[in-house]
Amino acid sequence: MKIITSTDNSFIKKLRSLSVKKYREQFGLCLVEGEKVVKEALKIEGLVEGLVIAKSFEEKFSELIQNYSQSVTLVTDEIFNSLASAVTPQGIIAIIKTLNNTKIDLNKNIVVLDHLQDPGNLGTIIRSGIASNHSQFILIDSVDPYNDKTIRSATGTIFYASFFKMNKSEFKEFAKLNSLNLLIADMGGKNIFASKSTLITPYALVIGSEGQGVSEDLLALNHKTIAIPMDPRVESLNAGVSASIIMFNLSNSFKGKI
Amino acid sequence: MKIITSTDNSFIKKLRSLSVKKYREQFGLCLVEGEKVVKEALKIEGLVEGLVIAKSFEEKFSELIQNYSQSVTLVTDEIFNSLASAVTPQGIIAIIKTLNNTKIDLNKNIVVLDHLQDPGNLGTIIRSGIASNHSQFILIDSVDPYNDKTIRSATGTIFYASFFKMNKSEFKEFAKLNSLNLLIADMGGKNIFASKSTLITPYALVIGSEGQGVSEDLLALNHKTIAIPMDPRVESLNAGVSASIIMFNLSNSFKGKI
C-alpha cells in the first residue's frame, strides 16, 4: 500500500487530469467512484489498474485494502475530494483501463450512436444495451463514455461494453465494406412492434442525436428504417428511452436466433 | 395587458410561491416556462390562466401578446428571472390550472406510481405514457408532477395527463373496491415479451420506487407480476426506462382491443 499526503504528487496530478477526455484517451485510463461500482469492476480480471481510498474510509475498506494491498493508494481526504466528482464522496475510487484491444465482432449485433451528446442518455443506452444483449457500441462523434455522468448513469454495466470511436466517413466506409445490415431508428419507419419477422440479425441499430436525429449521409446508406408508433401529440421520446425500447424489442424478437 | 415593475407586487409573490408544492396545491396552479411548452399549453382550452412575459422579450412575443392581451402580464427582466427556473430563461411563462376535476375512468388503463421519487423519472414516464396511450396516473406518495424538473422532462405531454394523488391505504381500498386488474412490474414476473396473450385490458400497471421497488402491502393485493427479461449481470434498469418499455409493449399488444 502506498500513502500519499501531498496534493502536488505527480501520480495524483495524473489522476486528476483524467477528468478531461484528452488525458483519458492519452493514458487509456478513467476513474470510477463508489463502493458498488468499484466492487463490480474488481470482478473483471485485468480491468482495475489501482484503487484510491480516502484516509477516513481506511477502516471501512480494510478488507479490500488487505486483498488488493499492492494496488491501493491511501490518500488524505483533501486529496480524495479533489479527485471525486460525487456530491457525497464514498471514499473509494478505482482506476480503470479503458484501452480496447478487441475488434468489432460482425456476428453480433452492434449499436451505432450518431452524434449523441447527452452523457446521461449514453449511460442509459449502455445499461439497457447490456441488459438486452447489445454490448458493442460504435460512437460516431458522440460524447465520451468514460465521463463521470455516463459512468454513473450506466452503473456497473459500462465494464461489459466495448466502444469503437469513429467519425462519420470512417463509419460509412466500415458499413459499406462489411455490408452492415443497418436498422435506422427514425420517424415514419416500420412499426417495431409489427415488423419483427421482416428483420434479420445480426444488425447494426443506428440511434441519432437528441435534437437532430440520424444524419443525412447515414440515411443515404442502404438501410431499413424502424420506428416506435406514438400518439401524434407527442413529438418524440427521450433518446435513451427510445433506444431502450427498440433494443429490448429487437433482442426479444430474435431470442434464440442470435 | 398588465405591467408589473415591483418585485414586491402581491401577484408576483403568489407566482413565486408556486415553486413550493404546498402552494401549488393550495392555489391549483403551476408555472411552465419556455416558448414551445407554453404554445403547447395554449392549444388546450381552459388550461392557461395567464401568461407572464419578460420586458426584453416583448417584441419577440408581440403576436402572442396581441392574441392573449387580456391574460398577459409584462414584467421587468429582474422579476421574470425571479420566477424562472431555467438556466437560460426564454422570456415566457404560462400559469397553468392543475385542478383535476375528472374522475378515474375504469374502462381505460391506469399507471400507478408507488413512491416514485425522482422528478426526471416521473417526467419520462408521463412522456412515454402519453405516447403509448396511458394518460391516467395514480401517484401514491410520489413526487409532485408539477415541479419544474418533471414538467421539463415530460415536455408538453404533461397537459394530456390526469393525476390522482392517493396514499397507500386509499389506493388499497380503491383497488379492492373496483377489483382493479393489477399488473405489478417486479423481478421474477412473467416475461413481458412472451406473456401478452395471458394479460387482459384494462389494467392498472404498478411501477415501484427507484430503490425499493413495489411496496410489500401492494404485493399483498391480488395481482399478476410482469417483468423485463435481462442479462443477469444487470441489476435493474432505470425506473423511467423500464416503465416505458412495459407501457409500450402492453399498449402495442392490445392494439385495437383497448
The pLDDT value given to residue A256 = 44
The model carries a pTM of 0.89
The pLDDT value given to residue A18 = 95
- Inter-chain touch B237–A128, beta carbons under 8 Å: yes
Length reported for chain B: 258
Instruction: Tell me the residues of B at the A interface, defined by beta carbons under 8 Å apart.
Output: 124, 127-128, 130-133, 153, 155-157, 160, 193-194, 228-231, 233-235, 237-238, 240-241, 244-245, 248-249, 252-253, 255
The pLDDT value given to residue B99 = 77
Average pLDDT, stretch A153-164? Answer: 92
The pLDDT value given to residue A254 = 67
The pLDDT value given to residue B146 = 93
Residue indicated by cell numbers 447527452: A118
Contact residues on chain A for B244, CB-CB shorter than 8 A: 237, 241, 244-245
> Quick count: other Cβ atoms within 10 Å of Cβ A8?
8
Indicate whether A257 pLDDT > 60.
no
pLDDT < 70 stretches in chain B: 195-198, 254-258
The pLDDT value given to residue B258 = 35
Q: What is the DSSP string of A86-129?
A: SSS--SEEEEEE----PPP-TTS-EEEEES---HHHHHHHHHHH
Residues with Cβ within 8 Å of A128's Cβ and at least 6 positions away in sequence, in order, are A240, A243, A244, A247, A248, B237, B238, B241
Average pLDDT, stretch A206-224? Answer: 91
Task: Give the residue with greater pLDDT, B129 vs A101.
Answer: B129
The pLDDT value given to residue A63 = 95
Length reported for chain A: 258
Task: Give the residue with greater pLDDT, A93 vs A88.
Answer: A93
Residues with Cβ within 8 Å of A177's Cβ and at least 6 positions away in sequence, in order, are none
**Amino acid residing at A49:** E
C-alpha cell belonging to residue B122: 416521473
The pLDDT value given to residue B155 = 87
Average pLDDT, stretch A165-186? Answer: 95
The pLDDT value given to residue B196 = 63
B28 in Cβ contact with B47 (< 8 Å): no
Q: Which of A102-116, A180-194, B54-68, B121-135 has the lowest mean pLDDT?
A: A180-194
CA distances to A8, B55, B152 from B38, in Å: 52, 17, 12
Residues with Cβ within 8 Å of B38's Cβ and at least 6 positions away in sequence, in order, are B32, B48, B51, B92, B93, B94
The pLDDT value given to residue B197 = 64
What average pLDDT does chain A have?
Answer: 92
Average pLDDT, stretch A215-240? Answer: 92
How far is residue A172 CA from its own chain's centroid? 22
The pLDDT value given to residue B15 = 96
Instruction: Tell me the residues of A at the B interface, defined by beta carbons under 8 Å apart.
Output: 124, 127-128, 130-133, 153, 155-157, 160, 193-194, 228-231, 233-235, 237-238, 240-241, 244-245, 248-249, 252-253, 255
Average pLDDT, stretch A93-98? Answer: 94
The pLDDT value given to residue A211 = 81
Alpha carbons A92 and A34: distance in angstroms, whole number:
6
The H or E element that residue A253 is part of is helix A239-253
B154: closest CA of chain A, how far (Å): 9
The pLDDT value given to residue B256 = 44
pLDDT tens readout for residues B33-51: 999 899 999 999 999 999 9
B135 in Cβ contact with B67 (< 8 Å): no
Q: Backbone dihedral region of B184: left (phi > 0), alpha (psi from -120 to 50 degrees) or beta? A: beta
